[in-house]
Every structure is written in structure tokens, then in C-alpha cells.
Amino acid sequence: MERRQVLAAGLLAAAARGAHGAHACAPLSAAQFGSRTPKDDGRLLRQSVARWCLNSMPIEQAIDLAKSVRLDGIELLDPADIQKVRAAKLACPVANGPTTIADGLNRLEHHDDIMKRAENLFPQISEAGAPLAIVFAGDRRGLDDANGLQNCVIGLKRLLPIASKSNLGVVMELLNSRVDHKDHMGDRTAWGLQLCEAVGDHRFGLLFDIYHMQIMEGDVIRTIQKAAPWILHYHTAGVPGRGPLDTKQELYYPAIMQAIAATGYRGFIGHEFMPNKDSKAELRTAIAACTGNP
């Protein structure tokens, strides 16, 4: 197993331990690395939902909804809500991190403030029980991609030792710059892979958002197969429109999830679609489409 997959398995095992009360700051041992066994219902891939997609309801209601449809977690949370989710025996696979989408690591002038926020935030995330924190490249604003990438490398090499102190991994989500995030720099898988290679740290990888990369690139399954060693987390949504994973959108998620499972990934799939009418029914449909089973 490639070392990034080893890391992902170990960090996500920490998330699973967190959902059952173990302390997330405990070192990741060799026994916790490797593929995880399927769930009791046979799912190969565990599933969570992004908190912001359920912002119309309080966190307590979101927890009840997640448990009612047998999701494994809620993600993109701040420390206080991570604690609430953990208390409900759910995981938080990825926490909100120290950057914003627009003001990310691609500009040196942002780095000092990002590091200050990380010094305060990362211990809280770890104590609350999440294994990964999310970061973003930031908008271009006239900056070319090569210089922005190098600035991200510099920033991540400062950020990752801070994460390591709290036993956290860091993921950068790639976003589409055609529809939702005009001018965003981290908008291509190839750019993200260059970044991973340049950083060369096993605690850093990509959050591969299938929705965003379908809009930018297409060819999702082949891209996942090539990028898999660097992917620590996945997001879903229907294309076009970021809607539910129904028959009205262009991606066939069962085949995508089978391809993900075939890479050896046994982490979380985070649903990041906007519910249309019935959140419970739409989440159940998404869960059924994303088991990873052949």
C-alpha cells in the first residue's frame, strides 16, 4: 500500500475511534493502518454529510437526521460542533481549517495569519476528535499558477509541523472555477498532484470533490485511478447544479464508488449536495449509490 493510502487509513481509523469515544490525540499505531473492514451492512465506504449543506437546521437536528439514515458522520465542523457530533457517536472526518476559500495559501502575505489561526485551532480540532483539517489554495487575483503553487508549498511546509503536533493531517480541496468559485487557483487535479509531490509530506493530501472536478475536467474515474495515492477524502454532489445524487444528474455514482473502492480506499465519502425537497430521502438515495460495493 502506498504511503498516502497508509496515512489515510490510519487517520480515518482515528475518526472511527473518535466516533466510539477513543482519544483522537493518541498516536496512530501500525495496527491501525491498512484497509478497514466493511460495515455491518456490507458497505465498503463510510459516508458523512457536510454540515453547511444542512445549515437550515440546528446541529442537533442534523445529528438526528444523520443517525436516522445511518450516516457515519458529519463533516466540515468547528470544534464545538465536533464535540456534539462525537457525543452522538458519529465521526467528523474533516474539520474546518485555518484558511478561507478566497484567502488561502497561495499568497505569502496570508501565511502568518494562517499559522496563528492553526496554532490555536489545530489542538482544538484534535481534542474534539477530527483527524483532518481542510485548507484551500485561494483565488488567483492575477497570480500565476506556478508561483501560487510554490507559495502553497512554502505555506504547507510551515503548516504541517503545526498539524503534526496535534496528530492531524491536512487536505486541500480542489474547486471548480467555472461555476461556483470564479478565479480560484486550485481548480485542476494536475495542479493538486504537483503540489502534493512538491510538499512530499505524508500528512498532506487532496480532498477530491467529484462534483468540482467533473465540471473542470470530466473523466472522473480515470483521474481518480491516477490520483488515488494522494487522495485522503472525497466529496459528492450532482452535476449540474450541486443537487442530490438522483437520475437527473450526469454522474453515475455507483460506478465511481466502485472505482474508488478498487483503489484500496476505505475512508469516508462526504456528501456535499444541496437537498431539494426531502433531505432524509435524498440522503438515503445517496448512501445507496455510494456503498462502493460491486
| Of 38-52, 104-118, 185-199, minimum mean pLDDT range | 38-52
**3-state DSSP assignment of residue 113:** helix
Task: Measure the CA–CA gap between 229 and 7, rounded to whole angstroms.
Answer: 10
Please check whether residue 294 lies inside any domain of the structure. Answer: no
**Segment 49-80, tens digit of pLDDT:** 999 999 999 999 999 999 999 999 999 999 99
pLDDT band at 24 (very low <50, low <70, confident <90, very high): very low
For residues 178-195, average pLDDT: 98
**CATH number for the domain including 141?**
3.20.20.150
Matching residue, cell 458523512 = 48
| Cβ atoms 177, 145 nearer than 8 A | no
Please check whether residue 31 lies inside any domain of the structure. Answer: no
Please check whether residue 32 lies inside any domain of the structure. Answer: no
- Quickly count: other Cβ atoms within 10 Å of residue 286's Cβ: 24
**Number of domains composing the chain:** 1
> Which three cell numbers mark 289?
449509490
Does residue 111 register a pLDDT over 70?
A: yes
Does residue 40 register a pLDDT over 90?
A: no
**Segment 242-290, tens digit of pLDDT:** 999 999 999 999 999 999 999 999 999 999 999 999 999 999 999 999 9
Give, as one character, the DSSP assignment of residue 136. Answer: -
Q: What pTM did the predictor assign? A: 0.89
Task: Measure the CA–CA gap between 70 and 272, rounded to whole angstroms.
Answer: 16
> Which three cell numbers mark 115?
499559522
pLDDT at 208: 98
Can you point out the beta strands (E) in the chain? 46-50, 73-75, 94-95, 132-135, 169-173, 204-209, 231-236, 268-271
Q: Is the peptide bond before 229 cis (omega within 30 degrees of 0)?
A: no
Please check whether residue 262 lies inside any domain of the structure. Answer: yes
Does residue 3 register a pLDDT over 60?
A: no
Domain range spanning residue 12?
A: 3-22+37-289
Please check whether residue 27 lies inside any domain of the structure. Answer: no
